[in-house]
Structure 1
């Protein structure tokens, strides 16, 4: 069988790190690019967050909760948001300005400068090995990969290697002082950054060990000169301080690039190769510029493979940030932390369905490390037990980022939404130990918050629908955002399920579910984004990048089985998608993932296909890395979202039912390795106008109902 797209070639030459080719092992990242006579590799590390503003206590607004609720029920939404900021500033003057989380920064750039710029240029990326190259054909070739086996960036120069090697900080001014020291010696380059605002991270070191064959190396003027070598191998590593002892010190790693690549490819290739998609494309290594220009199924196939490669390469001990594991700046957009009101969920959305459940575990590791801060948020903001997750985190989980416009302290759905990832991990793997020891404790603390937070009528007040405001309103603050209702209903339903799996009683959580508000269907027929209590009017605003109110349709649809609600959800998809098709809607690509997942779960083939088409044609560059806006802002959210959407269009699972091709627009194709709930593995799914054939495994101990488009008619 043709194994599908396994990489790409590109003609684009750039001096901009945002257009670079990527390689990574989750811990270390490498951005590979070049301009003029230079070849550059910008290095990064998953823990390299620059300490800027220290965390402070979340605002103590529990004491004014009755006042906030009175303002909200009176329709004074902006005033309620302003009161939070006023109380916060009275508590700590640090809240006078918007406080951001610590940013993920680039560690440094290693530049090889050739004497002149030869004619011709090409670059390539191999998804199966993580090897990226750039070359001047017949003159010089650079190969780069990041070893999972030895946690080292391997850079090899082949050909006429005569030039200089230099290691320097990334360009720009850091937002907090960093003191740099550099070393150039005949066999190595080093760059050390010392942070003046020391907290968990005090600084870092980039070390490059340089080995030349057939030539000589000479240090001088802060650079390393290379003369007449036929091959130069560089072993590079970023170490964040304080750091544990390295199991593989650089000076003990044999600089055999071919052997290092074989050891790495065995690990990386297993992760990257667990799913294969074929939609009719024939080029095993297409030119990315040509694919992006012509679109169609071949582009979907290529983007699916490139997106999975990016996410696999950016998961290490931590999950992917907004920029994965890569950074070439001191000031990344939104600090490139973990944005938990949609971005992180999109980035990891495809990990279970595409057969890499172990890559979801770092999400849980991160959340559990931040639990003390989440508990402080719940107590300080609302006087509640349990946990309250903020929208932005990196080195801490304190609720420090909010303001009168972006009133993020009113968003309480985060822990409930993240609980879905816990339950889905169990549902895909069947790991009862994980359900008992990790999922159930997190889900319980999430639910305990809502036991205390809901008012006497079961309302969510305050509430917030990221990042939308009602039509004609003056603020994003609200009562009863549909996302809040849906996420908590989902959490409590899964808690009841989990207690059943563990033979525990669940009456407490069923009683809490019964307190929740009902969904609201707007007079125009769509599921409303808000379900306010009597006396409040909140009109829908469909001209918005988020689609948080479609939460009931993103996962399994048991919570939204009512035909009237499904019809309202379908109309909401159509209304929001109509805006996205407009010329002005060119930002925040993961909103299209939200639309597409809802459409696929609702069996809306045309709409799911339209959302996917907008994703793959608007938000990818020649380096086959996604952007946040159309051709703007290096961002990996939809690198997770596109595979999740394609998987949802091909396989839908709920309980003991498996629907094949629920929203498939392609007349023929094949996919191997998708995973469904209840531990089902779709070893192979092939379809054509002649019929559908599937090979399933993992469900031998239970009865499974399988449907196809033909049997559902």
Structure 2
């Protein structure tokens, strides 16, 4: 068997013990998990809208009348009582709150297998080509499949082939195990189709009513014989084409069947060319090299690459792997916790959209690495949830504006909380999303987006904080998912994340009003003046809680996976940290949290390292930023180069966006009017290059290259603008950039060991 790894892609010799060890491909709407073993080909299909109806959306608990009481409990040093009171009120109001209510989970649609009549044991060869999205798995007996998810035709295209005649059973089946709620599932077979149709027994207006998975089979010269529902026997063909699509239906979109499958050209190469015209530009728009240039690269399989440890070559391969997974996971909707893939009825945390960290990590590299159009599904999703966000604000706190829950899938009602995980007290979600809206304008310089989509959302977000803020700040509050060291509850006052996110929202509102020449900016300046100040803890770190809450000191606890108080450094940076004392406190906070991540106690939630890495890069801490990458690279990737949530466990794709974002932030730091080149370059990367980096203010870094002694860059901008360029030697240059005339910048470079 000839073994090779795609130049831009990955490979593994290891069979898949489960779907979590799959190679992946997808077009954002349809997903494929390729998890074959030596004796059979296994492909699990999924769809971005296949959220299985599990819990009826309930009104958010009506705690607004009790808000004064909740605030009094927190101010009196009884945060646990406040968190428990919210749960008691909810359970009294509706019996559905007697248990913790999860969001509707993203589940797989079904699994297609091919079981050869004559299986063999031996080596298996599995590859994924990122530039085309084609996954190939070859069994020891020479039977292989190639599969991709077409962006052009919204269909899964599978080619089975061998150097001999194929003989075996094609089978379509539901996922193993019990679904979350009852459903009517029917399998049918004809000589050229396999179909799985599922109708959910319980649905609500926001959920699917069911789905249909249809497989059309074209076997030139072969014979297909139905065996039983969902199974066909294949013989006599050397290659077979399968066209597969999952169609999710709802009350407003009845099941259409799949007539398009019959009209598609039954030719693998033709369909692949149509697909790559859409897919390949998204993958190749940017490229990062961190290791010495190799004239004839010989890429290693994933397991051998990981075994070498955190080399620069591994880092650049993981950037590619992460970008590929993110591109494949974005269609009409943004990535869930598991992207667009699921091989189970019960994914961890129901695999929806987690707004208090995971989603932001998953999309963090889209702007810096030049695919801003893939951010639009985030805003499209938010549009569908705005009414529920408004409902949350009114019911929970009696406020105007919007309140974003930490978890959502088929609706945005704030239904998931409890006395321990008191998520109704987290109010930073809308301000955080507002930053994503502002960044989209800042990177693209699209004034229509700013006026028509970003500014209205920023107004909705800010209206809530106008009503919610008290004279002593954010009470109640929540710093995901940490508990002050001297407290018995996550409920708190004045989480630093809250004030940092709203400070950022106010700055962006003021800028938007100035750019669009709109009145009313004074209102937002007054909101900013009401915000608490940052606090430095007695031990010298930036405090995670800005002010004490009555008798509670709200002492920092650094042994935690989140680093929400570092929000000021994940994006542009807060001007308040021009104060060297505050800046030094932020550095100490990063190092304190990173010390825990280095320990054996740290395990789950890899995107906490993304938070630390982005903050370290923003502050120019090259060693610390590189350490976060090393920890992610050596703990949270399988040999398939698909990431996990815990060390070696739980299929999860949020660091597929976060890892490349940290690397990009170490090479280019940007804010309106300024870009810094190589702000956090570690000694481990003595030479390299990057193409297609993008910065805020519409800056485009077409090419950035460095050696141990010199840096060269070529820059443009989307619109004519003056930009201050920060150079690695500490010097700055002011240049005028425009779309048509590139500006070359060079500077000496010294890498300190």
TM-score, normalisation: structure 2: 0.93
Q: Secondary structure at the match of 1:463?
A: coil
- Displacement, 1:138? 6.7
Tell me if 1:630 matches 2:615.
Answer: no
Tell me if 1:293 matches 2:310.
Answer: no
Corresponding position of 2:130: 127
Corresponding position of 1:171: 176
Specify whether residues 246 and 569 from structure 1 end up closer, same or farther in structure 2 by C-alpha distance, changes over 3 A only.
farther
Q: Secondary structure at the match of 2:45?
A: strand
Q: Tell me, in whole angstroms, the C-alpha distance in 1 between the residues paired with 2:298 and 2:156.
A: 26
C-alpha RMSD of matched pairs (Å): 1.4
Specify whether residues 247 and 514 from structure 1 end up closer, same or farther in structure 2 by C-alpha distance, changes over 3 A only.
farther
- Displacement, 1:700? 6.1
Corresponding position of 2:3: none
Q: Tell me, in whole angstroms, the C-alpha distance in 2 between the residues paired with 1:247 and 1:569.
A: 56
Correspondence 1:2-401 to 2 at 5 A: 6-118=8-120, 119-136=122-139, 139-159=142-162, 160=164, 161-199=166-204, 200-222=207-229, 223-242=231-250, 243=253, 249-280=260-291, 282=294, 283=297, 285-295=299-309, 296-401=311-416
- Displacement, 1:623? 1.1
- Displacement, 1:472? 3.2
- Displacement, 1:600? 0.2
Asked whether the equivalents of residues 504 and 574 of structure 2 are also in contact (C-alpha less than 8 Å), the reply is no
Q: Secondary structure at the match of 2:291?
A: coil
Asked whether the equivalents of residues 25 and 314 of structure 1 are also in contact (C-alpha less than 8 Å), the reply is yes
The worse-fitting range, judged by mean Cα deviation, of 693-702 and 573-582 is: 693-702
Q: Tell me, in whole angstroms, the C-alpha distance in 2 between the residues paired with 1:42 and 1:139.
A: 21
Specify whether residues 132 and 497 from structure 1 end up closer, same or farther in structure 2 by C-alpha distance, changes over 3 A only.
same
Q: Tell me, in whole angstroms, the C-alpha distance in 1 between the residues paired with 2:60 and 2:719.
A: 50
Q: Secondary structure at the match of 2:50?
A: coil
Corresponding position of 2:420: 405
Specify whether residues 248 and 345 from structure 1 end up closer, same or farther in structure 2 by C-alpha distance, changes over 3 A only.
farther
Tell me if 1:462 matches 2:476.
Answer: yes
Q: Tell me, in whole angstroms, the C-alpha distance in 2 between the residues paired with 1:305 and 1:700.
A: 29
Asked whether the equivalents of residues 540 and 588 of structure 2 are also in contact (C-alpha less than 8 Å), the reply is yes
Q: Secondary structure at the match of 1:426?
A: helix
- Displacement, 1:655? 1.8
Q: Secondary structure at the match of 1:473?
A: coil
Tell me if 1:680 matches 2:699.
Answer: yes
- Displacement, 1:246? 8.1
Q: Tell me, in whole angstroms, the C-alpha distance in 2 between the residues paired with 1:701 and 1:175.
A: 55
Asked whether the equivalents of residues 40 and 139 of structure 2 are also in contact (C-alpha less than 8 Å), the reply is no
Q: Tell me, in whole angstroms, the C-alpha distance in 1 between the residues paired with 2:410 and 2:182.
A: 18
After superposition, give the CA deviation of every residue in 1:589-638 in whole Å (9 maximum; x if it has no partner).
00000000000000000100001110111100011110000001000010
Q: Tell me, in whole angstroms, the C-alpha distance in 2 between the residues paired with 1:130 and 1:511.
A: 51
TM-score, normalisation: structure 1: 0.98
- Displacement, 1:358? 0.5
- Displacement, 1:532? 2.2
Q: Tell me, in whole angstroms, the C-alpha distance in 2 between the residues paired with 1:534 and 1:262.
A: 61
Correspondence 1:424-573 to 2 at 5 A: 424-455=439-470, 457-505=471-519, 506-533=521-548, 535=550, 536-559=552-575, 560-573=577-590
Tell me if 1:670 matches 2:680.
Answer: no
Unpaired runs of 5+ residues, structure 1, are none
Asked whether the equivalents of residues 558 and 654 of structure 1 are also in contact (C-alpha less than 8 Å), the reply is no
Unpaired runs of 5+ residues, structure 2, are 1-5, 732-749
Asked whether the equivalents of residues 5 and 305 of structure 1 are also in contact (C-alpha less than 8 Å), the reply is no
Q: Tell me, in whole angstroms, the C-alpha distance in 2 between the residues paired with 1:366 and 1:139.
A: 44
Q: How many residues align?
A: 709
Asked whether the equivalents of residues 698 and 719 of structure 2 are also in contact (C-alpha less than 8 Å), the reply is no
Q: Tell me, in whole angstroms, the C-alpha distance in 1 between the residues paired with 2:642 and 2:101.
A: 29
- Displacement, 1:685? 0.3
Q: Tell me, in whole angstroms, the C-alpha distance in 2 between the residues paired with 1:617 and 1:191.
A: 40
- Displacement, 1:541? 0.3
Asked whether the equivalents of residues 5 and 302 of structure 1 are also in contact (C-alpha less than 8 Å), the reply is no
Specify whether residues 654 and 5 from structure 1 end up closer, same or farther in structure 2 by C-alpha distance, changes over 3 A only.
farther
After superposition, give the CA deviation of every residue in 1:62-115 in whole Å (9 maximum; x if it has no partner).
101110010000110100000001110111011110000101110000000012
Specify whether residues 115 and 493 from structure 1 end up closer, same or farther in structure 2 by C-alpha distance, changes over 3 A only.
same
Corresponding position of 1:608: 625
Asked whether the equivalents of residues 193 and 216 of structure 2 are also in contact (C-alpha less than 8 Å), the reply is yes
Q: Tell me, in whole angstroms, the C-alpha distance in 2 between the residues paired with 1:311 and 1:653.
A: 22
Specify whether residues 525 and 313 from structure 1 end up closer, same or farther in structure 2 by C-alpha distance, changes over 3 A only.
same
Corresponding position of 2:638: 621
- Displacement, 1:565? 1.3
